[in-house]
A = this chain, B = another copy of it.
Amino acid sequence: MIIILKRNASEESMKQISSYITGNGLEVHVSHGKEVTLIGVVGNKDLINPDHIRSMKDVDRIVPVTESYKLANKKFHPDPTSIKVGNTVIGPDNLTIMAGPCAVESKHQLLTIAHAVRDAGATFLRGGAYKPRTSPYSFQGLEAEGLQYMQEASMETGLATICEVVSLDAIEQAVKYVDMIQIGARNMQNFILLKEAGRSGMPVLLKRGLCATIEEWLNAAEYIIAEGNPNVVLCERGIRTFETATRNTLDLSAVPVLKTKTHLPIIIDPSHSTGSYQYVPSMAKAGVACGADGLMIEVHDNPACALSDGPQSLNFKKFHQLTEELRPFCQLVGRTF
């Protein structure tokens, strides 16, 4: 941490700041410039409160030097994490394909889709049982009933299953029926839910918030891991920008950036980010090309009748065609699926 003082900061202010820092067991290194004076802080910064320092006399600003996340940080865990879920592994050598409907609508629908996505190469079935919706008057999901259908689909097809959870109650239900839970974009900084997900012991897919920076996202992952649960997978699903031609803007640069900052696997969701099925194949290929560990893709037996997000769903034929087209890209990047 570096403390930048205001021009003409008094000697007294500098001493007061230094003594606060050394009093907490850290060291200070002072650089006097012509225009400004800097105080470098060396030691365990968890012992001091940056807000205290910011409020001290003659402090201009503070520049953090090290990241606040530790357990998610590649510096301390250089090897990439691989996570076993059901019969499949998410991690450095595989391309994991999670596919299924946005919302679980009925048992019959889910089983039909599960068979189709498995036959095309998916190893995970996704399906929403709890749907966070902007308006209280929109369809909110089948809840526990939907989770049971997920379990049945898993037993019939051998697919691993993943469902979004939105509350402690939903986590308690999900633990009984599915293999992995998902924290959605709107809950990325719902810290209570993150802690509960950590305590559940289940693998967690953590979607990036619509306006979250990568730093904030990794801090959110840290909340989960800090509860003793290392099985966290990140999912980039688009950030909010001024562009309106796509629902959100898929930030694929996040993939190589994350590969330098964290050991956690990273999955790309081209369906929610673009909001339109016709852009999904291009972005899925781009995701594989830039190094993603997997894809989450919406597939529906009849997109025109989906209860939620139909316009972004692939039908079976298009999904099958996409997985076929993805295979040579996987070979190029050294992944199997």
Q: A: which residues have CB within 8 A of B? A: 2, 4, 7, 29, 31-36, 38, 40, 42-43, 46, 49, 51-52, 54-57, 63, 65-66, 68-69, 75, 132-137, 139, 166-168, 186-187, 189-193, 210-216, 219, 222-223, 226, 239-246, 249-257, 260-261, 273-274, 278-279, 282-283, 285-291, 303-311, 313, 328-329, 332
Contacts and interface: CB of A to CB of B under 8 A. Distances in A.
Contact of A42 (B32, B166, B211, B213): B32
A240 B243 contact: no
A185 to B, nearest CB: 9
20 contacts: A7-B75, A29-B29, A31-B42, A38-B65, A51-B306, A56-B304, A69-B135, A132-B191, A135-B222, A186-B190, A187-B190, A190-B190, A239-B241, A252-B283, A253-B282, A257-B279, A285-B290, A289-B289, A328-B332, A332-B332
A246 B240 contact: no
A257 B241 contact: no
Report which residue of A4, A36, A66, A135 has the largest number of chain B beta carbons within 10 angstroms of its beta carbon.
A135
A2 B51 contact: no
B329 A289 contact: yes
A49 B290 contact: no
A325 to B, nearest CB: 8
A307 B135 contact: no
Contact of A40 (B31, B43, B261): B31
Given A65-B4, A244-B213, A289 B278 contact: no
A191 B170 CA distance: 13
B253 A136 contact: no
Contacts of A139: 49
Nearest to A249: B251
A2 B63 contact: yes
B213 A245 contact: yes
A290 B268 CA distance: 14
